[in-house]
A and B are shown apart, each in its own frame.
Chain A
Amino acid sequence: MSSIMTTSLKTDRLVAGMAPVLQPGLFVFCSVLHHADNREALAQAHGMQVEDEGLSLILPRAEAHRLGLTYELPMRQISLMANVPLGGVALTAAVAAALTHMDVPAYVAAASMHIHLYVPSDLADEALDTLRSLQRDARERLAA
């Protein structure tokens, strides 16, 4: 597997310590109008982002189905368990570039503690392999 060259030591350190963990469960991205009718969907959401057009929600697929919401691909969540408050943009760049390179689509969600990735469920293992390979390359460069 080819690797994306990350020349900066700082990026290598972030990547080497990123500790990717595949979380259980299937998630979907849904759009809902910002309205009280969506209180239940909001209560079940793992992620929410206000957009001009309405609310973007990340929901467990079973909840989205139960609530009759429209969604597309079922996704798996991979959390990068390293604590990278605000310093993580280089890590985001490296990870997103590696996944792009492997044609694995992904959504990135930075939160207070960690960076989380959502990838199509049928590509979750490939995504995890890609991240582990990126991590291994960074560790080898740091050890050299």
Chain B
Amino acid sequence: MIAGMNPELLPGRVVFAAFAPGAVPLEAAAAARASFAEAEGPSLILPVETAEALGLATDQPMRQITLTVFSALDGVGLTAAAAAALADEGIPANIVAATRHDHVFVPEARAKAALAALRALSERAASG
């Protein structure tokens, strides 16, 4: 599974934004790439352009890397391997597993390094 994960760097930059309960603007909800209801309030992943237009903080722009292998539920091994490969390189990352794929969010400045680390992981798995 790790050998076939085929990490893909998506275009565009995003930011994580936390809102007070019930305080998500319609524009943010409509443009969100992802959302999560935390006990403290909604957490959204927004395109930088949307966040800027709403006057939200954009000082930590991130890029999305999708692991395009089909992430079945037993894919936690893939999540573990990807997270470890990034942690080993000192690359901060937020990982969101969805129905079909794992999505990895990394600081924009580290996106290329993250992609290289994930590709190396995939190649090691393929040759091992």
- Using a CB–CB cutoff of 8 Å, the interface residues on chain A facing chain B are 11, 29-31, 45-53, 56-57, 72-73, 79, 85-90, 92-93, 96-97, 99-100, 104-114, 116, 120
Contacts and interface: CB of A to CB of B under 8 A. Distances in A.
Contact of A86 (B40, B73, B80, B92): B92
Nearest to B71: A107
B116 interface: no
Contacts of A96: 76-77, 79-80, 83
Contacts of A48: 32, 34-36
A46 B36 contact: yes
B87 interface: yes
Nearest to A120: B73
A110 B17 CA distance: 12
Nearest to A83: B40
Interface of B: 16-18, 32-40, 43, 60, 66, 73-77, 79-80, 83-84, 86-87, 91-101, 103, 105, 107
Contacts, number: 127
11 contacts: A11-B87, A45-B35, A89-B94, A90-B87, A92-B87, A92-B95, A93-B83, A107-B76, A111-B43, A114-B38, A120-B73
B17 to A, nearest CB: 7
A37 B58 CA distance: 32
Nearest to B62: A86
A56 B18 CA distance: 20
Given A92-B93, A108-B76, A113-B38, 13 more contacts: A29-B99, A31-B100, A47-B36, A47-B37, A51-B99, A72-B73, A89-B93, A96-B80, A99-B76, A99-B80, A100-B76, A107-B98, A111-B16
Contacts of A79: 39
Contacts of B18: 112-113
Given A86-B92, A89-B92, A105 B76 contact: yes
